A = this chain, B = another copy of it.
């Protein structure tokens, strides 16, 4: 059995988009499997007293982030559209991602990120989630309907609580089988190396 790296992301997070688009190839090259773990940054940020993204709260930090995203997506050959509003409301998308079968989750999640940051679509709109589900070979309407199921709502709350309990404070984050925490798209390679050979 391959070692498994947990990939924690919020659909509203810019750098989660970069990680989502490259993690499967990077992990496969190391023989590592990826467990896609959607969660919500909002409740974690709220404990800091933040009511929006730190990229909005601190404008200089935000300006650098958008410019850095232009540079990074340019290098990766990915499109970049600045979502309006930013951050997007990622609640329904995160619930839907937990509702889809595990085997389809990576494709569904990449489709949501591509719709949001590649095409500027509103990821809180059911139509966006339906299209993303269909592109992943799923029944779009059925997936969109799952976002109101109590057990799915509860699963997302539990995932977010687990993220906080693991010390996660931003996204993307990665946790290894021995519970080492790595924060940020820039730490994906370190997290994979640690998964293969903990130090």
Count of chain copies: 2
- In this complex, what residue of B is CB-closest to A64? B183
Q: Which chain B residues border A172 with CB–CB below 8 Å?
A: none
- In this complex, what residue of B is CB-closest to A59? B169
Q: Which chain B residues border A60 with CB–CB below 8 Å?
A: 167-169
Q: Which chain B residues border A170 with CB–CB below 8 Å?
A: 61
Given the interface pairs A71-B190, A186-B186, A199-B74, the reply to whether A58 lies near B64 with Cβ below 8 Å is: no
- A166 to B: closest C-beta gap in Å: 10
Contact assessment for A64 and B186 in the assembled complex, using a CB-CB cutoff below 8 Å: no
- A175 to B: closest C-beta gap in Å: 11
Q: Which chain B residues border A71 with CB–CB below 8 Å?
A: 190, 199
Q: Does A22 contact B (CB under 8 A)?
A: no
Using A64-B183, A71-B199, A74-B199 as known contacts, list a sample of 17 further A-B pairs with CB atoms less than 8 Å apart, ordered by residue number in A: A48-B58, A58-B169, A60-B167, A60-B168, A60-B169, A61-B169, A61-B170, A63-B167, A64-B167, A64-B169, A64-B181, A67-B180, A67-B181, A68-B182, A68-B187, A71-B190, A186-B186
